[in-house]
Chain A
Amino acid sequence: MLRFLVVLFVSAALPAAADECYSVDPAGGSVSFELRQAGSPFRGVFRRFGGELCVAQGRVARIDVWLEPASVETGLPEIDAALKAKEFFDVGNHPRIAFASASVRAQSVRQVARGTLDIKGKRRNVDVPFRLDESGGKSVVSGSFTLDRLDYGIGTGEWSDTRWLGAEVKVDFSAGLSRR
């Protein structure tokens, strides 16, 4: 009897303890960036991205996301080609940009994922604030953060002149989550 109760208790507790994971749905979502060129804002987007967000005990426990810099689109084909080259994203050698959270802390509706951002093999610890909202019966994760492109070697050589190409890059993201 006792053994039965223990088994019952453990099996009932398990689903709650296990991560409930959702995939990041690129359809309808967006990852965009903005930086300054010659003193004016310049924007672009990444079309291919994905990842997963896991919830445990009612809280976001883990975020693992990636994007393919080869899917960059600025509306200017020549600029897109330059961004894929060695001086910028070097997509041949580094096809993926990844973020993996180490911890997630909640501050009311806003949450902050602290983790590692890996671009061109350069890893930096970053804080990414985000929020979860319900929209059309679906959970949507969104947020924005800024990074220094020179920390990751995005724009080497002559492009490291931050007077003409700003160092600070603002990244905005928003994507629906699908239960997996």
Chain B
Amino acid sequence: MANLRNSTESYGIIAQAFHWLVAMLVLVQLGIGLYAANLPVSLARLQWLSHHKSLGLAILALVLLRLGWRELNPPPELPGSMPHWERRAALVTHRLFYLLLILAPLAGWLYASAAGLSVNWFGLFQVPDLISKDRELAELFKALHIGLVALLASLVAVHVGAALRHGLLLRDGVMHRMLPWKPRRND
């Protein structure tokens, strides 16, 4: 358990906190979204979708803050032992991750705006609509939101798979850069 800032070997506490908080919220968010979208029109659906919208905007804000922190505090280098294509793949998937973590909630916000179901953030304040009510645009942004979320979920699977490969098979310390505890290096 080390620094607030990233070192050359490991992510710092702040980057780790952002990572695990966003990861946990995204999983909760996926669960709520899938559950609520399949409910019939009911008070429960109204409540869950309302939480889903507030939580989605919270994730969007967290991701923007996280990107800001990442700008100020570059991530540790990947080990030189990794093949070039793997480092490229890691770079591309991480960029795509950030892109989807911004676009998926944004598409959801556009969908809610176009549907005329504006967001009141956890009952605390009214969130402005991005566009005015339009039934066709609502359908379009709904499809876009679902498509982006499906991509994001696939990316989570790839990311977890790759992290476990580094942690359990390669044991090259890449996964442990994002963990608050460090294993004893077995080399």
Contact = CB atoms under 8 A, between A and B. Distances in A.
A161 interface: yes
Interface stretch (A34-42, A145-153, A171-179): A34-42
A75 B115 contact: yes
Contacts of A43: 116, 133
A163 to B, nearest CB: 9
A41 B119 CA distance: 9
Interface string A53-85: 000000000000000000000111011011000
Contacts of B135: 75-76
Given A39-B126, A82-B41, A164 B46 contact: yes
B41 A75 contact: no
A173 B46 CA distance: 28
A171 to B, nearest CB: 17
A43 B116 CA distance: 7
B47 A159 contact: no
B41 A42 contact: no
A158 interface: yes
Contacts of A41: 118
B89 interface: no
Given A39-B123, A79-B41, A158-B42, A74 B47 contact: no
A82 B49 CA distance: 17
Interface string B100-120: 000000000000000111111
Contact of A39 (B42, B43, B120, B138): B120
Nearest to A160: B43
B47 A164 contact: yes
A165 interface: yes
Nearest to B136: A75
Given A75-B133, A75-B135, A75-B138, A40 B119 contact: yes
Interface of B: 41-43, 46-47, 49-50, 115-120, 123, 126, 133, 135, 138
Closest 4 CB pairs of A and B: A39-B120, A38-B50, A40-B118, A158-B43
24 contacts: A37-B46, A38-B50, A38-B117, A38-B120, A38-B123, A39-B120, A40-B118, A40-B119, A40-B120, A40-B126, A41-B118, A74-B116, A75-B115, A76-B115, A76-B116, A76-B117, A76-B135, A76-B138, A79-B41, A81-B41, A161-B43, A164-B47, A165-B43, A165-B46
